[in-house]
Homo-oligomer: A and B are copies of this chain.
Amino acid sequence: LSIPPGRELVIAKDAMVEGVHYLSGDPPDTVARKLLRVNLSDLAAMGAEPLGYLTALALPPACDDPWLERFAAGLAADQAAFGLSLLGGDTVRTTGPTVLSLTILGTLPLGTALRRSAARPGDVVCVSGSLGEGALGLRVLTGALQAPPAVAARLIERYRLPQPRLALGHALRGIAHACMDVSDGLVGDLGHIARASQVGAVIETARVPLAVELRGLPGALDLALTGGDDYELLFTLPEPSLAMISPEVGVAVTPIGRVEPGAGVRVIDPDGTERRLRSASWTHF
């Protein structure tokens, strides 16, 4: 691979285990597309353009030829949609659950990669899209939540097919200070930015963008704060820079809090009290 002059390489590697990161009953084509998309989401969080990817697939006997054909069809569809191609990898047999890993490569202009470690006190904390839909979709699939068919279908699609925010990540280059994607839950992931940047942060629960379907559900806000599987971008930037984000990035951006000196993440309810969370981060199911 040649990297064009003036650009540098970014690389990420995420793994998914059957029964942990996706359900055994999920269609093979959406499993493949989720595997590619959670890694594309890592590229988005760095502001990079996709270049290509490698896979390592550990497959039990149940993943037979028809399964693999549907898996490959899913990869092909998203390769075309996101403009990248399979560069190589390895496929092996396992007696245990399916283990899928993907290494993704992207490029961007030298020195422009977004990082977790550059948040500064006074920055506004923002998040894209709305939170909690992926976690809700999982609950619909496991039978823990009932929803009308159309709503259920949309939530399940959000769980199975995250939307990597590549256009937003690209637009944030040179504008955002710190950036990452929300994969394990908003509060826990903001904690990662705070630790890496040696700062503290505060979230105002009233400003957290809740999925329409979440409003009124008991425990809905906690799910949006800690539910995981959102794959939205979480970033910090000086307040005046907010106006520099083009509306053409195709997703809403919501300020939800602020970076402050200190350490840790505080979650503040409308009455000014600090909210206690059972856990800051999702550990899957």
Contact = CB atoms under 8 A, between A and B. Distances in A.
A105 B87 CA distance: 13
Contacts of A15: 56-58, 90-92, 101
A51 to B, nearest CB: 10
A54 interface: yes
Q: Is the interface of A mostly helix, strand, loop or mixed?
A: strand
Contact of A1 (B10, B57, B97, B101): B10
Given A3-B3, A8-B2, A103-B103, A13 B56 contact: yes
B17 A101 contact: no
B101 A56 contact: yes
A99 interface: yes
B1 A90 contact: no
A93 interface: yes
A252 interface: no
A89 interface: yes
A94 B20 contact: yes
A196 B2 CA distance: 22
Contacts of A250: none
A19 interface: yes
Interface string A16-60: 110111000000000000000000000000000000001111101
Contacts of A88: 11-13
Chain B CB within 10 Å — which of A2, A5, A103 has the most? A103
B97 A17 contact: no
B19 A95 contact: yes
Contact of A89 (B10, B13, B95, B96): B13
Interface string A231-268: 00000000000000000000000000000000000000
Given A54-B103, A90-B101, A96-B97, 15 more contacts: A1-B9, A1-B10, A2-B8, A3-B9, A11-B103, A11-B105, A13-B55, A13-B103, A14-B90, A15-B91, A17-B58, A17-B93, A19-B95, A58-B58, A94-B97
14 contacts: A1-B10, A2-B8, A2-B9, A11-B88, A11-B103, A11-B105, A13-B54, A13-B88, A15-B101, A17-B94, A56-B56, A94-B97, A94-B99, A95-B97
Which 7 residue pairs are nearest across A and B when measured between Cβ atoms?
A96-B96, A56-B101, A15-B56, A99-B99, A103-B103, A13-B54, A58-B99
